[in-house]
Amino acid sequence: MLTCRAVWKKLAPLARASSTVCRQNVRRAGWNNARTPLCVPVAHMSTGPVGGGSDNLKYALLVGASFVGGLTYAVITLKGDQKRHVERMAEISSRKQKSASQIQTEPAAPLETKLEAAAAPDAEAAAPSETAEPPPAADSKPSLPSHAPYLLIGGGTASFAAARSIRARDPDAKVLIVTDEPDLPYMRPPLSKELWFSDDPSVTETLRFKQWNGKERSIYFQPPSFYVDAEELSGAENGGVAVLTGRKVVHMDVRGNKVKLDDDMEISYDKCLIATGGVPRNLQVIERAGEEVMKRTTVFRKIDDFKSLDKVSRNAQSITIIGGGFLGSELACALGRRSTESGLEVIQMFPEKGNMGKVLPEYLSNWTTEKVKKEGVKVIREAVVKSVSYKDDKLEIKLKDGRVVRTDHIVAAVGLEPNVDLAKSAGLEVDSDFGGYRVNAELQARSNIWVAGDAACFYDIRLGRRRVEHHDHAVVSGRLAGENMTGANKPYWHQSMFWSDLGPDVGYEAIGIVDSSLPTVGVFAKATAKDTPKAATEESGTGIRSESETEDTASSAVAPAAPAPVVSHRDEYGKGVIFYLREKVVVGIILWNVFNRMPIARKIIKDGEEHVDLNEVAKLFNIHED
């Protein structure tokens, strides 16, 4: 009955329309024949006016066509309704089956519950909606933000400095940091310095250490409570900084202002910072040596590397460090001190003639090598690795000059490769000489993309294009990038510094281009008890020296009036200043056991003047005041 009524509702308008058309045609035909029909009976409307036989045929065809069209439409409609009815019933049936299967997969209910359910079947029938919809998944994840006004790729020092700078200038800013590491942003220098001198047996878990000044702190910049949950960032009323850990950006769409993560999630952005840092290099002879060698090799960079090497050092009999730079020498001294207590054999080998041979002048490099030896390290100079193999539960390192070294574990400290994996998808330029993303003086790679830290190849307005791999540069470049992301438009003119400590007694700070191939002038003096990294941090109150000195300026440096004797190339170098020259202009300075004088060194390089007598310039550092 319902179906017939529906058909009639659809056919009735067609019938009325055709009837109306017929009556209008009849009247029109009468007017055309100069006669007006007296009556047009409804029942005989198809007969037309008297004497119009041809017109009657037209009317009959029109009515017939209307009838056939209406009938066809009705048939099609009925078939469509029937098809939709079948699909709807199938959907309802499948939904019931799905609900039933979900009920079956639930844990078996107690016997009392089953009996109660069996005793009340009508109650279930009265409320079918309670089981019609599947229950929410217990392991459903909260939605992550699909858009971030400020997106920072990388979770290192540069990213954290940028986030802090952005929030300082834009208090309501929403900043999202994406890092492939499992940890919140942390400082890397203690991983090869203070953490190794901790007396706490649980230091690998707490990651807290005592600075040379005796104060304790964590390697993390901020505790977890400082950050906003990534899922809540979009709705945070006052903004905040969120960190998405364990995720890697694998593709960057510069035109679409969005990135894709390794789980195919996409995040759009307004402004983006690339601070992906670098990847520690390894020797090709080690990479080609096979799985057994690789399992016994550490490339040192992250927290997990520190934990792993600490465990190895407590169980192995011998560890060999390949590399004579900052990292290799720091680790050698740290492990060397531990060897005096545990009997661990620590070997350091490098192709140069002495420790830090690419940075320090030869006489100072040789002195540093002797210092490292006194820490309990066996140093092998001018060592070029030819091959590495695993034999009789030992690693066998063959050198090109025929020497062979057997050891339990290898630490490869042979430099850093800037991480430029996003360059291809983003269409960003990579510098062919220095590596890293090529940026302008404002650290911009595109109008809304900045680069900071180890991955940035920037233009130094005083020293030309450079790429720097040190903590202070990460702090300063990240801070500047954050300011420019909020509209500051400042050029990068700051001369970043770096420092290295060979334990608590010997340390140095450097700035500019410090290359042992350049001519140098060294001015030294006798050291006192306060001329050590430990004493310097006790005086300044900070263990990460760049965080305090970068805010200072050297606007009123005054040299002492007393003449300063020059100590050149003697056996003991207690403290001093080494100037690096290029075309008679100072382009780099090392302060050897001289601390809290970096603003003066920065000003000398910034001025870019020729100096007739560098002994007079050395007076500015007051190395003879004691």
Residue-wise pLDDT tens digits, 248-273: 999 999 999 999 999 999 999 999 99
Q: Is 592 exposed, middle or buried (0-12, 13-18, 19+ CB in 10 A)?
A: buried
Give the Cα separation of 91 and 390 in Å (integer).
64
Q: Is 138 exposed, middle or buried (0-12, 13-18, 19+ CB in 10 A)?
A: exposed
The three-point CA angle 157-160-164 to 5° equals 135
Q: Is the pLDDT of residue 604 over 90?
A: yes
Write the pLDDT tens digit of every residue in 476-533. Answer: 999 999 999 999 999 988 888 888 887 667 788 999 999 999 999 999 988 776 666 6
pLDDT value of residue 567: 40
Instruction: Please compute the mean of the pLDDT values over residues 425-454 and round it to a whole number.
Output: 96
Domains in the chain: boundaries: 147-185+225-277+419-486, 281-417, 497-621
**Which residue is associated with the tokens 């009340």?**
120
Mean pLDDT of the chain, nearest integer: 81
Please say whether the dihedral angle defined by the alpha carbons of residues 196, 198, 199 and 201, taken in this order, is positive or negative: negative
Question: Yes or no: is domain 281-417 CATH 3.50.50.60?
Answer: yes
Write the pLDDT tens digit of every residue in 212-255. Answer: 667 889 999 999 999 999 999 999 999 999 999 999 999 999 99
Give the Cα separation of 500 and 189 in Å (integer).
9
Look up the CATH architecture of domain 147-185+225-277+419-486.
3-Layer(bba) Sandwich (3.50)
Q: Give the tokens for residue 20.
A: 């109306």
Nearest-10 Cα torsion for 72, 74, 76, 80: 180
Q: 3-state SS of 235-255?
A: CCCCCEEEEECCCCEEEEECC
> Per-residue confidence at 195, pLDDT binned at 50, 70, 90?
very high
Q: Are 577 and 594 in contact (CB under 8 A)?
A: yes
Write the pLDDT tens digit of every residue in 34-73. Answer: 444 444 444 444 444 444 455 667 666 766 777 777 777 7
Amino acid identity, position 613: D
Instruction: Please compute the mean of the pLDDT values over residues 584-609 and round it to a whole number.
Output: 92
What b/e string do you get for 387-402 counting C-beta neighbours within 10 Å, with b at 16 or more? ebebeeeebbbebeee
Share of the chain above pLDDT 70, in %: 72
The neighbour count for residue 31, using CB atoms within 10 Å, is 11
Q: Which residues contact 437 (CB under 8 A, 6 or more apart)?
A: 274, 418, 420, 423, 428, 429, 430, 431, 445, 451, 455, 456, 457
Write the pLDDT tens digit of every residue in 272-288. Answer: 999 999 999 999 999 99
Containing 379, the helix (H) or strand (E) segment is strand 377-380
Write the pLDDT tens digit of every residue in 361-382. Answer: 999 999 999 989 998 999 999 9
Instruction: Please compute the mean of the pLDDT values over residues 390-401 and round it to a whole number.
Output: 96
pLDDT value of residue 536: 62
Are 147-185+225-277+419-486 and 281-417 the same fold in CATH?
A: yes
The three-point CA angle 239-242-244 to 5° equals 150
Q: Is the pLDDT of residue 409 over 60?
A: yes
Q: Which CATH superfamily is domain 497-621 in?
A: FAD/NAD-linked reductase, C-terminal dimerisation domain (3.30.390.30)
